[in-house]
Amino acid sequence: MSKKLKGVLRQIAIQLFLLLVTAMVLFPILWVVSLALDPRDIDKPLELRLIPPGASLQSFRKVLFEPFNLLCRDPSNPATCMKFGGLLRNSLLVALGTSLLAVVLGSTAAYAFSRFRFIGRQAGMLFFIVMIMLPTTGLLAPLYVLLSQIRIGSEPLRASLFGLVVAYSSGFLPFAIWNLKGYFDTVPKELEEAALIDGASVTGTFVKIILPLSVPALAVTVLNSFMTGWTEFILAWTFLDNPSRFTLAMALRSMQGQFATPWSEFAAMSILMSLPIVILFFLLQRYIVSGLTIGGVKG
């Protein structure tokens, strides 16, 4: 067998394998897309079709502009029901707030752990590793109690979006600090030493040298904390009472009916919720591997 023929056969085998993997990867995604495009808003999708007959964007229109009749202050009055815009606003507030807190607090703390030898450093690092391993479900009750007792104005912190932001970011911080510290460790100390000799302050070197050189790790922190705020469901569902504070993740869950799922709308909503994350992911993709400390090969 000639070398060229062997190469072609090899290529064909590899392509077949990759196509199979592609099919498996895309199957759930295409299914959701085809459901979302189905104009019949069928409550019983009984066949698999990529493009359903008469495909339209109707279910997107419905999700985007019509009220969610399960998320209402007064179920008999549709005017009190949440619409996509309000849910989106809440989700964005929570997700952006969480990632802002995680990045600012995470990077300053990680910097101290990476660059200073101080009393309590070892205990601190140990604490973070322990936190990463401790399951958070047990915290539901103590957090509920705690955040209920702190009041902003007339209502407890628990029932506010800010309460959620605080809970999410503090839950996310141990991982963020640990990961950022690991990354800061890889930035050569000589750069800072040179700057310090030139008269820069500690804060100056942190902001002007460490942070710009750590964009990958910061990107990972932003992406993951944003995602936490965007998709978290359990705490939000337990803590929030007022439907006007509800988030997209809660709306998606509420569409998963016990008896009847509005398939097309569920699918459209899934796509709308995934799109920003997927776009953010692809924008930040080149940082993602290098930004997770585990991606950096240290041997």
Partner 1 sequence: MAVRPVAADAGPKPVFKRPSLRERIKSSRTAWLYIAPAALIMLFVTLFPYIYQLFMAFTDYRVRNLRFNLLNPETWARYAPPFVGLDNFVRILTNQLTIENYDFWRLLLFNITWTVANIVFHVALGVLIALVLNSKTVLLRRVYRALFVLPWAMPGYVAALTWRNMYDDRFGAINQLFGVINRLIGTSFPTDTRWFVISEPPIGGLLSFLPLAFYAVLLANIWLGWPFMSVVATGALQSIPKELYEAASIDGASGWQQLRKVTLPLIRPAMVPAIMLGTIWTFNQFSVIYFISQGNPFGRTEILITQAYKLVAEQRLYGVAAAFSIVVFFILLSFTLINNRVTRATEAYDV
From the list 6, 57, 75, 118, which residue makes contact with partner 1 (rule: CB under 8 A)? Answer: 118
Would you say 76 or 138 has its CB closer to partner 1? 138
Q: Which of 278, 263, 275 is nearest to 48 (CA)?
A: 263
Alpha carbons 261 and 222: distance in angstroms, whole number: 33
135 binds partner 1 (CB under 8 A): yes
Alpha carbons 147 and 279: distance in angstroms, whole number: 34
Alpha carbons 12 and 6: distance in angstroms, whole number: 10
Would you say 137 or 154 has its CB closer to partner 1? 137
Would you say 80 or 88 has its CB closer to partner 1? 88
Would you say 80 or 170 has its CB closer to partner 1? 170
CB 291 within 8 A of CB 216: yes
109 binds partner 1 (CB under 8 A): yes
97 binds partner 1 (CB under 8 A): no
CB of 72 to partner 1, least distance (A): 22
Q: Which of residues 157-186 bind partner 1 (CB under 8 A)?
A: 166-167, 169-171, 173-174, 177-178, 181-182, 185-186
CB 236 within 8 A of CB 95: no
Q: Which of 249, 87, 165 is nearest to 157 (CA)?
A: 165
From the list 16, 50, 141, 194, which residue makes contact with partner 1 (rule: CB under 8 A)? Answer: 141
Alpha carbons 114 and 181: distance in angstroms, whole number: 5
CB of 243 to partner 1, least distance (A): 20
Q: Which of residues 52-81 bind partner 1 (CB under 8 A)?
A: none
Phi, psi of 72 (to 5 degrees): -130, 150
Which listed range, 45-53, 54-62, 80-88, 211-219, lies at the site for partner 1 (CB under 8 A)?
Answer: 45-53
Q: Which of residues 13-32 bind partner 1 (CB under 8 A)?
A: 14-15, 17-18, 21-22, 24-29, 31-32
137 binds partner 1 (CB under 8 A): yes
Would you say 77 or 132 has its CB closer to partner 1? 132
Would you say 74 or 150 has its CB closer to partner 1? 150
CB of 90 to partner 1, least distance (A): 16
Q: Which residue has the tokens 């504070």?
A: 245
CB of 173 to partner 1, least distance (A): 6
From the list 130, 152, 162, 212, which residue makes contact with partner 1 (rule: CB under 8 A)? Answer: 130
Alpha carbons 185 and 195: distance in angstroms, whole number: 17
Give the Å distances, CA to CA, from 76 to 71, 94, 118, 223: 11, 28, 60, 39
Count residues contacting partner 1 (CB under 8 A)? 109
H helices of the chain, in order, are 3-37, 58-65, 84-115, 121-133, 140-149, 161-186, 189-197, 202-205, 211-213, 215-231, 234-239, 248-255, 263-291
Decide: residue 149, CB within 10 A, 0-12 exposed, 13-18 middle, 19+ buried.
exposed
33 binds partner 1 (CB under 8 A): no
Which listed range, 57-65, 74-82, 213-221, 287-295, lies at the site for partner 1 (CB under 8 A)?
Answer: 287-295
Alpha carbons 256 and 276: distance in angstroms, whole number: 21
Q: Which of residues 231-270 bind partner 1 (CB under 8 A)?
A: 231-234, 238, 249, 252-253, 256, 261, 263, 266, 270
From the list 69, 77, 108, 242, which residue makes contact with partner 1 (rule: CB under 8 A)? Answer: 108
